[in-house]
Amino acid sequence: MRIKRINGMFSVASQVEIQDIKSIAEAGYKTLICNRPDQEAGDHTPFDTLAQVAKQFGLTPVYVPISLVGSSKADQNKFDQTITEYPKPIVAYCRSGARPAVLWNRYDASVSGGRKDGPERRLSAVTAGALGVSHAAATAYAVGFNSRQTTAAPPMMAKANGRKSL
């Protein structure tokens, strides 16, 4: 299991197994979100088993399974509700950590609205390695991000690549 911190209240992880639960609790996490469906593959511990162990260590387990083809509006709403209502900090996982990163990106875009620092926070998740560039681009497109409306991200990206911003 690898955990990547997105911010002070949310992190993503690759597949969590029983032996990982204690270290997650010791790291101070309060809620454990599973975004991997039990029936996806036979190579991981079912959520109910992990949830029982998580409760023993004081974690609140939440099951929000997301298929490999993507999340529905209802999935996103349940994820958003979990982020809003459950104890923090939260760690969410799937096989690679990509699904919770995409869900977080959409949640963050919805709550940041037109705030100027919204794109920078999502870019920070990309640079921290918690969110892949292709996932970030797809999610930005899905939530209606328009680079002409926001000029913050392109200059940062240009600077990171050693070029002058436009």
pLDDT of 159 strictly over 70 = no
Q: Is the pTM of this model over 0.95?
A: no
pLDDT digits (tens, 9 = 90+) for 26-72: 999 999 999 999 988 878 899 999 999 999 999 999 999 999 888 99
Q: What angle do CA 102, 108, 110 make, to 5 degrees?
A: 105
pLDDT of 83 strictly over 70 = yes
pLDDT of 152 strictly over 80 = no
* Whole-number pLDDT of residue 154: 37
Tokens of 153: 């991200």
Tokens of 61: 């387990």
pLDDT of 97 strictly over 80 = yes
Tokens of 94: 């799937």
Secondary structure (DSSP) of 48-62: HHHHHHHHHTT-EEE
CA torsion sign, 57 to 61 to 67 to 71?
negative
* Whole-number pLDDT of residue 104: 92
- Mean pLDDT of all residues belonging to the chain: 78
Q: Which domains does the chain have, with CATH numbers?
A: 3-157 (3.90.190.10)
* Whole-number pLDDT of residue 126: 55
| Rg of the chain, C-alpha, whole Å | 16
Percent over 90 (pLDDT), the chain? 55
Tokens of 3: 């955990």
Burial class (CB in 10 A: 0-12, 13-18, 19+), 42: exposed
Which residues make Cβ contacts (< 8 Å) with residue 10, sequence separation at least 6? 83, 88, 89, 90, 91, 92, 104
* Whole-number pLDDT of residue 160: 44
pLDDT greater at residue 146 or residue 79: 79
* Whole-number pLDDT of residue 89: 97
